[in-house]
Structure 1
Amino acid sequence: MLQQLLKLSRSSPTLQNQHLRQIGLDQLILRMLALLICGGLIQRASLQSTKRQSRKAQVMDELSSWIRHNLHHSMQLSDLRRQSGYSERSLRNLFQERFQCGPVQWIRQQRMELARDKLLQADASITITIVAQSVGYQHLSQFSRDFYQTFGQRPSDLLREARRSEIELQA
C-alpha cells in the first residue's frame, strides 16, 4: 500500500486528489496507525474470540454426547442448562447455530432416529412400547404421533416391514 501511495505522490496534483479521495487516505492512515499501536490487542482479542468459539464447540460436543447417552430419560431444557452451564437462551442460540433447530427439536430428532434404528433391527420380542420407552417416551400415543410426523410412517408399519424383510432374508 505504501508503494502505491509513493507512486501516487509522484503523479499530477489533480490525479493525486482524485485518487486520494477514492482510496480514503485519511481512513487508511488511521487504520494503519491503529494496527501499529494496537496490533497486539487486536491479536489477543482475536485469539480470545477463537478460544471462546472452540470452548462453545467443546461444550456442544459434550452436551450432544450426553444427550445421546441419556435419550431414555426425560429431558427438560433446565437439565441441559445444568449440564452445560449455559443459560436457556444461549443454549437455544447454540443449537440453532449448530443444528439449525432448537434443543427440544434436536432431542426429538435424536430420539426418532434411535427409535427408527431399533425398530429396523428389532427381533420378535421387541414391541413398539418397549422402543418408545427406550427412547424416553412415557406415552405411546405421543411417540406414534412424533414418529409419524418425522418419518411419514407409523412405527407399527416400519416394524412390520423390518420383520417381513428379516423373514425373507432367512428364507
Structure 2
Amino acid sequence: MMKNLVSALCGLAIVGAAGLAQAQTPPATPAAPMSAAAATPPAAKADLQAGFVKSVRGSVQLLSGSGDTRAASPGDALGAVDRIVTGPDSSASVVLRDDTTLVVGPSSRLDLKEFHFDGTTHEGGMLLSLLRGSMRMITGLIGKSNPDAVRVETQTATIGIRGTDFIVQADAQP
C-alpha cells in the first residue's frame, strides 16, 4: 500500500512540477463586480492568500477558516488558514507563495494552520497539521532560508523540517 501511495504522490508531484515551471501564479479570472473583499488593498489580499491549487484529481474539498466549503479546482486561492480534504482515490497539489509545493494524498485531511511570507525579505513561517492520510512537501523559500520556521504536526508528533523534500503519513487513529 505504501508503495502505491508513494507512486501516486510522486506522479501528481511530477505533473504539478512540470506546470510549475510554466506558471507560478494561478490563471487570471474575468473581472467581477466590486465587493468588500475586492476593495481590500493588494498587500492585505496577499497576506490572506497563502497560495493556490495547482491540480486536483477526484474529490477534493477546501474548507476556509470561516467555515465555507467548496469543491477545489485548479487555480483556486488557498487562504492562510484553510483545510484540504481529499476523498478516496483523490489527491491535490498546492503551491504556496514561497514556492512550497504540497501534494495531499488520498483520504487525507490537511490543515494549513498558519502561513505568513514576506516576498521582499523572504521571511515567514508555516504550520501544517496532517490529521489523516498522507502529504508530500517540497519546501520553498521559507524552508530553505529558515527551516525552523516550518513545522508539520500529526496526531502523535510535531516534525521540524531539516530536508527539502519529504513524505508524511498519519493514520486516522493514533
TM over 0.5: no
Q: Please tell me whether Structure 1 or Structure 2 has the larger radius of gyration of its CA atoms.
A: 1
Structure with greater proportional helix content: 1
TM-score band by shorter chain is under 0.3
Structure with greater proportional strand content: 2
| TM-score, normalisation: structure 2 | 0.22
